[in-house]
Structure 1
């Protein structure tokens, strides 16, 4: 029986080496921070860009650069496992190259699936590309997914990977700022890319329907179609109730969460949204949709409120209930915080990833 190595070196392929704004980089940044806080251990991880900042036209050069670093590390005996973060479209095309290079170098690799729309991207009629993707999954030493729906999807599309799948939900740190909420005015907060997939048009319509109800304000923060959202808010008569600051950095996000009472994310497609977990960590009342792996962490009426995607009536009703009921907000928030501390905090997340790395090394 082969003995598991006592110390391993891991190369982590993440879009912008934890410096980017996207969800994958944010998750990997929190993992890196947690590993650094824990100090020396049985793993050493280097986080390297596979897409890079700026134009997507430059992304192939970053993918090739990652492969060159893999080759150098292999020759120097400085890599035991490659951890590949994976999303749809360009991310998959680049990771096919990186995974293929890892196989040629005989380096075990872990696939970590993040893509919110991977089911529609990798469909039954994907042709030759679909075959390549299946081979990539089936040749992985381990596959990490964020919830049950993704485990079942990968097991169905890549049967050879079924016994190598581990569910590890995303995680966030507990807030460092004390929660103060919105005071007498209930603060509704949206964090994410502003656009159709995240349900921002439906959120705008729900807030429009609530405009005559006193006692609330909202912040819709994120990049994407910010100017179009501002124009629409003005058309709906919401400029005095709804702030649209655009993209905000980590410090501003922490301040917004500390000042919020409700976290809303009415998405049409997600894998497992970080903003929902951040809201749970702070004890906010969460309103979201049962998409992706959301139902693994949000139980309707217990740890949040679930509304059907695109259902403006249900979204309006859920937000109205929470604005009008401090007790319901408090109960949902406390239950959500308990789930976060038990399952979605950084220490268990880092330990689970570490175990996957150690299991992958040979």
Structure 2
């Protein structure tokens, strides 16, 4: 019939409510990723059509500051979820899940969603989820299985996490989707990193889990090489790390500035040549993805889903966790071998453009949401 409208012309666009732990500006990897998603979507939450017809809202479940305030944030989020359901303003819930307190809070959120009849997607983050799950009491494990098993889709960041969830929650096996983390593509200004000495960069929580003590020892081992400087940026064991650097006589070459916000982190990435993250465990670290985007030569450890993106000798170098001499040898290679350093950075940047760009991530995430509500 002439003038007849198709359903898409009048149906309300579907809305997803995204549960984030700390909210805008949070220092954890989840919130950095979700902030990147917010920025990609723009003020109207639609991403200039890259989301199809989806509209996105964000809510906070833990909040920044004292952990004692987290019940207040959680209660407020549950009220928001119930209110959105009552008003017809939520079609899907996106639950970002990590370990420990996050898992306990999200079990409550998942139970509320099931009670309200709101379908949800689980997005698994957190390097320690395996340790948390396998070491939990039977009651906590059962709660986590119910949360994950009740999801319309389970998003994981790599193959190792797909296999882990399939083994622990087999009823969710057919609903697992791999979606690596992403970041905005940075301008092609790195590789050479600008004039002056070579700059080695660590971005992350400063401490033993991220391999910072081994990194300091490795930097000491290459102190015979000239023309390099290093920055170890992040919160955590900052004072202890500074003391160790001073004791090793590295204070003139290694800076530990503390936490670097988004603007400071981007400036550090643009001015660096090498990104190093010698962690003992990870899921899929944002700092490595950002380093690849900037065209840095990446040195990392084969933990979590890192091996899915850092291919040894191609998009970076891999060293065993906890092996300071191997880390020092890798650093020595990329410091002294300019063609290798530039090739690793270029290949990493190309891999990021193809597989880890936020512009593509938005559309892939929207497709998962659409599948979840069918």
TM-score by length of 2: 0.93
Check if 1:26 corresponds to 2:32.
Answer: yes
Aligned pairs for 1:91-102 (under 5 A) are: 91-102=102-113
After superposing on structure 2, the runs of 4+ consecutive aligned residues of structure 1 that deviate more than 4 Å are 3-6
Quote the offset at 1:19 in angstroms. 2.3
Distance 1:38 1:86, change over 3 A: same
Return the match for 2:48 from 22, 39, 45.
Answer: 39
Quote the offset at 1:182 in angstroms. 4.9
**Alpha-carbon distance in 2 for matches of 1:47, 1:16:** 11
- Secondary structure of 1:219's counterpart equals strand
Quote the offset at 1:288 in angstroms. 0.2
What residue number does 2:356 align with? 344
Name the Cα RMSD after superposition. 1.6
What residue number does 2:88 align with? 77
Quote the offset at 1:39 in angstroms. 2.5
Return the match for 1:279 from 271, 291, 302.
Answer: 291
What residue number does 1:121 align with? 132
Check if 1:195 corresponds to 2:204.
Answer: no
What residue number does 2:238 align with? 226
After superposition, the C-alpha distances for 1:52-81 in whole angstroms (9 at most, x for unaligned) are: 010011112211111110100010000000
What residue number does 1:256 align with? 268
What residue number does 2:123 align with? 112
- Secondary structure of 1:51's counterpart equals coil
**Alpha-carbon distance in 1 for matches of 2:366, 2:61:** 21
**Alpha-carbon distance in 2 for matches of 1:268, 1:49:** 29
Deviates more, 1:9-18 or 1:201-210: 9-18
After superposition, the C-alpha distances for 1:181-217 in whole angstroms (9 at most, x for unaligned) are: 1534110000000001100000000011111221211
Contact map agreement 1:177 1:255 (CA 8 A) in 2: no
TM-score by length of 1: 0.96
- Secondary structure of 2:134's counterpart equals coil
After superposition, the C-alpha distances for 1:111-147 in whole angstroms (9 at most, x for unaligned) are: 0000101111101763111011111111111100000
Contact map agreement 1:88 1:118 (CA 8 A) in 2: yes
Return the match for 2:282 from 253, 270, 276.
Answer: 270
What residue number does 1:215 align with? 227
What residue number does 2:18 align with? 12
- Secondary structure of 1:310's counterpart equals coil
Distance 1:177 1:339, change over 3 A: closer
Return the match for 1:133 from 139, 144, 156.
Answer: 144
Contact map agreement 1:11 1:45 (CA 8 A) in 2: yes
Equivalences, count: 360
**Alpha-carbon distance in 2 for matches of 1:64, 1:178:** 45
Quote the offset at 1:177 in angstroms. 7.8
Unaligned runs of at least 5 residues, structure 2: 1-6
After superposition, the C-alpha distances for 1:246-299 in whole angstroms (9 at most, x for unaligned) are: 001111111111110000000000000000000100110000000000000011
Contact map agreement 1:177 1:254 (CA 8 A) in 2: no
Unaligned runs of at least 5 residues, structure 1: none
Quote the offset at 1:18 in angstroms. 2.7
